[in-house]
Structure 1
Amino acid sequence: MAAGRVAGYGIATWAGLKEEAFTVRELLALAAEAAGGQHHHRVTVQLPVSLVMMTPIVQALHGRGPLPAATGAGLG
């Protein structure tokens, strides 16, 4: 947070990704648009991981869903 600037931020959602209201790619495009370029500082996507909600993990194990998309976009 040098000079009072945000070093990085993320988004925490499952419903929006699960219901396909948006994709990781669309979230990055919106971040770039809001920031006026690719230096938007979005660095993470947070999803629930539990024994009750296994969908994100199952999707990732099959190479699909938001987790592989986030990784492919360089997000944590």
Structure 2
Amino acid sequence: MAARHVTGYGLATWAGLEEEAFTVGELLALAAEAAGGQHHHLVAVQLPVSLETMTLITQALHGAGPFPAAAGLASG
């Protein structure tokens, strides 16, 4: 950080992924477009996880939704 560059950033969404307004892949594509290439530094997405909002957990237990999608993008 000596040059004071941002080394990573994230975003938070309450319902965007749960309501399928966008996907993890679409978020990464937007980050790349905004940065002018694949070196966008988007490293985190914060989602709500609670007993009231179990949709994302249920999807993950069935191999669907943003959690497995993000894991696949990170490893691929």
Q: TM-score, normalised by structure 2?
A: 0.86
Report the alpha carbon displacement of residue 21 of structure 1 after superposing the two structures with TM: 1.7
1:32 is aligned to 32
Runs of 4+ in 1 over 2 A off after TM superposition: none
RMSD, aligned CA: 1.6
Mark the CA change 1:8 to 1:45 in structure 2 (over 3 Å): closer, same or farther.
Answer: same
Deviation per CA, 1:23-60: give whole Å up to 9, x if none. 11111000000001000001111111112211111111
2:17 is aligned to 17
Q: Counterpart amino acid of 1:58?
A: T
Q: Which has the higher helix share?
A: 1
Alignment check: 8 A CA contact 1:13 1:47 kept: yes
Matches within 5 A, 1:1-76: 1-74=1-74
Percent identity between matched residues is 76
Of 17-26 and 31-40, more deviation after overlay is shown by 17-26
Structure 1 unaligned residues grouped into runs of 5+? none
Q: Counterpart amino acid of 2:37?
A: G
Q: TM-score, normalised by structure 1?
A: 0.86
Structure 2 unaligned residues grouped into runs of 5+? none
Alignment check: 8 A CA contact 1:10 1:45 kept: yes
